[in-house]
Amino acid sequence: MRSIKLGVVSILEGDAYKEIKRMWRFFEKEYASKAVQNFPHPHLGFQGGIGEDIKEIDTNLKKLSLQIKPFFIRIEGINTFEKPDRVIFWEVIQTKNLQRIHKKIDALLRKYCSQTFKLYSPQNWHPHVTLAHEDLTKSKFKRAKKDLENYHPRYKLKAHNICLVRWYDKDKKIRIYKKYALE
């Protein structure tokens, strides 16, 4: 079987979704940064990895999603990472419920993937919603941080989905493989 790069995310909804899309257009126009748009849905990432049997992961993630109720995501301002890549993001408050969901998803992917993303392991995971990454030069990163000093987004939204996503080598895009509604 062929190795597949995949991930598990929750796609934002409502006003937060619209605001992230607006900010993505702003970053593209002002800083020529659009790498984040390789997956066109604003989202909270839980974990990712390299797996061979995406159908088995799908079957087990579907079972897990039946155990997860819709949950709150609280956004409080923006923040940045400088390493391993420059990233500007919305800060997501890490609640006990969010940690619990993350640990279950991480355990599932560790079971069915040959490797998982180290930065998304429970001890390293910093929940966030990305505004810009990968294609921000050092000077544009610095300028964006300064330009956004007075930008303080605050949202409390309910997540009603978990999605299995897949990377495609051919066009470097990430697409939803399966979306599971939370009830």
Confidence category of residue 59, pLDDT binned at 50, 70, 90:
very high
Kindly calculate the radius of gyration of the chain based on its CA atoms and give it in whole angstroms. 16
pLDDT at 156 over 90: yes
Full domain range(s) for residue 61: 4-181
Torsion angle defined by CA atoms of residues 122, 124, 48 and 82, in that order, rounded to the nearest 10 degrees: 160
- Report pLDDT digits (tens) over 140-154: 999 999 999 999 999
At position 120, the amino acid (one-letter code) is: Y
In angstroms, rounded to a whole number, what is the distance separating the alpha carbons of residues 148 and 152?
Answer: 8
Q: Looking at the 3D structure of the chain, how many domains does it have?
A: 1
Q: Name the DSSP class of 36.
A: G
pLDDT score for 56? 97
Q: Is 70 a residue whose pLDDT tops 80?
A: yes
| pLDDT range class, residue 172, cuts 50, 70, 90 | confident
CATH of the domain at 144: 3.90.1140.10
What mean pLDDT, rounded, does the chain reach?
A: 96
The per-residue pLDDT for range 72-81, each reduced to its tens digit, is: 999 999 999 9
CB 163 within 8 A of CB 156: no
What secondary structure letter does DSSP report for 94?
-
pLDDT surpassing 90 at residue 83: no
Question: Which residue in this structure is represented by tokens 């605050």?
Answer: 154
- Evaluated on CA atoms 168, 7, 35, 28, the torsion sign reads positive
The pLDDT of residue 34 is above 80 = yes
